[in-house]
Structure 1
Amino acid sequence: MTTLTAPDLAGFKTIDDSQIESFRKNGHVLIPGILNQTEVAYYRNVINRAATEYNTEKRSLKDRDTYGKAFLQITNLWEVDEQVRNFSLAKRFGKIAADLLGVENVRMYHDQALYKEPGGGFTPWHQDQYYWPVDTNNTVTMWMPLIDITEEMGMLTFASRSHESGFVENVAISDESEAMLERYIQQKGFQVSRAKTMHAGDATWHYGWTLHSAPGNKSEDIMREVMTIIFVADGASVTEPQNKHQEADRQRWMSGLPTGSLLDSSLNPLIL
């Protein structure tokens, strides 16, 4: 039997100044072609296999709340699967994250497979960094589809320039956050935008404070397969948790590091 060799993702991809400027101005940017067809096909198989093995959601869609209907969420696959580790800790991704943030190096916060099932519900407006007890705004999430997707399948949607406001509301992703943050976006007049299509291996990148959401997956039989990786600038410290979710993150994704310590646990490796 022939064993496929894992594509090496150590090689850097240069991004141009206009992409960096757009990211810092709007709080998000789409960068096409980060992985080629061979690379994304290989790692799609790897991630799908691991996500299937470690998915713990057994309820049907109708039995879940809004958060549960939004996506299947399988987190930190890099911890349990060596081939996913090669993907999530790839220097190619880390270099793009560092260049966008304007820092020398970044650390892993965690990865997440976010699969929106056919007929899956909308993802409410939220801020990722609501969940993260860190003392820096230099945080970024990479959101990469593993298949070609259209906006009808649950395309990530952004409120441009909303990152400039920083923390908005102490509210978790929910029906409440959807209503509250929708009103806030309208009051502030933020432009809401999303791509019409993305190819497998493209990725959007957004700051931790950028407000974002996604529509439901209206397809009848296609799973929206997305892999995400969260990066934090090296040198960040752990802050006092402001809600139960930040405390849970401190315990799980920071190995229980005490408040005030550098974010440098074994779960937060340097990427470059």
Structure 2
Amino acid sequence: MIASSLPALNNKLNLDPAQVRAFRQDGHTLTRGLLQPGEVAAYREVINDAAYKYNTETRKLEERDTYGKAFLQIMNLWACDEAVKQFTLAKRFAHVAADLLGVDNVRIYHDQALYKEPGGGFTPWHQDQYYWPLDTNNTVTLWMPLVPITEEMGMLTFASGSHRGGSVKNIAISDESEAELDAYIRNKNYPITRATSMQAGDATWHYGWTLHCAPGNLSAVTREVMTIIYFADGASVTPPINKHQENDRSQWLGGLQPGEKAASSLNPLVL
């Protein structure tokens, strides 16, 4: 589909102030109907085309480690596909991100398709911001299914309030993070929260430090999810504290040096 023929997604949706307050308290929220059925159908087609075109995972599911079994992960599709770019840079989404964070403008960190295949494994407990060398806590991820999903397909699951503790441990998504962060969550008695179902075009949002995971996909249908990570305009790059942050600094922040504003050509303003 030609990008110019896709539905425009630039109108502002007004959030209930109570939902914004709850997001800041819990570290996550759910917005129903962020895309209408016709809109999600159009964008699902172009996102799928791009995701499978640029997917580099060729191993069978049983040959992969825990991280590899969790999902197919195809990153920064907006930078290589004009149709996906129209989705990722949509002002409708950016307005929600800015309102939830309480900032005037947000930049793109990166997008990624996260497709959990039938029989795909669980996603271990983790914190997204472990990977990001940024000097702000005003970060948020949009997580949108492109097909209807239920708990058995790998619903995103949150430890409510865990974002307020900041970084728990310098640990990547792994069996180790699952064990250590699960113990931490139990010790802190954080409530575990997830939706029972989501329609295509609904979206969850969570802070970068919100602990989250997902069960495996027990269904016969691929859990097609598109995500976009936003951060508040004005943030700067910090010295990487692990190899993943160094990789992100190089790849998703355009090689900017610590201390520089996180404003490379890969991190456009969206509003």
TM-score, length-scaled by structure 2: 0.98
Residue 241 (structure 2) pairs with residue 242 (structure 1) = yes
Match in the other structure for 1:181? 181
Instruction: Indicate the RMSD between aligned Cα atoms, in angstroms.
Output: 1.3
How do residues 146-165 of structure 1 correspond to structure 2 at under 5 angstroms?
A: 146-165=146-165
Contact 1:142 1:230 in 2 (8 A): yes
Show the counterpart of 1:226.
Answer: 225
- Quote how far apart the aligned CAs of 1:5 are: 2.0
- Three-state SS of the structure 2 residue aligned to 1:73 is strand
Query: Is the Cα contact below 8 Å between 2:140 and 2:229 reproduced in 1?
Result: yes
Report the Cα offset of residue 4 of structure 1.
Answer: 8.6
State how far apart, in whole Å, the 2-side matches of 1:149 and 1:54 are: 24
Which is further off, 181-190 or 10-19? 10-19
Which residue in 2 is equivalent to 1:102?
Answer: 102
Aligned-pair identity in percent equals 66
The answer on whether the counterparts of 1:27 and 1:161 sit within 8 Å (CA) in structure 2 is yes
Q: Which residue of 2 aligns with 1:196?
A: 196
Q: Structure 2 unaligned runs (5+)?
A: none
Aligned to 1:112: 112
Within 2, Cα distance between the matches of 1:147 and 1:108?
Answer: 24
Summarize the alignment of residues 50-199 of structure 1 with structure 2, pairs less than 5 Å apart.
50-199=50-199
Question: Structure 2: how far apart are the matches of 1:129 and 1:39?
Answer: 30
Post-superposition offset of 1:3:
10
Helix, strand or coil for the counterpart of 1:187? helix
Alignment pair present for 1:27 and 2:27:
yes
Q: Distance in 2 between matches of 1:4 and 1:37?
A: 19
Q: What letter corresponds to residue 10 of structure 2 in structure 1?
A: A
Q: Find the aligned partners of 1:129 and 1:184 in 2 and give their Cα distance.
A: 17
- d(CA) in 1 for partners of 2:95 and 2:173? 29
1:138 and 1:207 in contact (8 A); partners too: yes
In structure 2, C-alpha distance between the alignment counterparts of 1:149 and 1:13, rounded to whole Å? 23
Q: Is the 8 A contact 2:160 2:191 kept in 1?
A: yes
Alpha carbons of structure 1 residues 260 and 150: separation in structure 2 relative to 1, 3 Å: same
Question: Displacement, 1:14?
Answer: 1.2
Q: Decide whether the 8 Å contact of 1:19 with 1:31 is kept in 2.
A: no
**Under a length normalisation based on structure 1, what TM-score does the superposition of the two structures give?**
0.98
Q: Following the alignment from structure 1 to structure 2, what is the Cα–Cα distance between the partners of residues 63 and 54?
A: 20
The amino acid of 2:222's aligned partner reads M
Q: Deviations over 1:146-166 (max 9, x none)?
A: 010001000000000000000
The unaligned stretches of length 5 or more in structure 1 are none
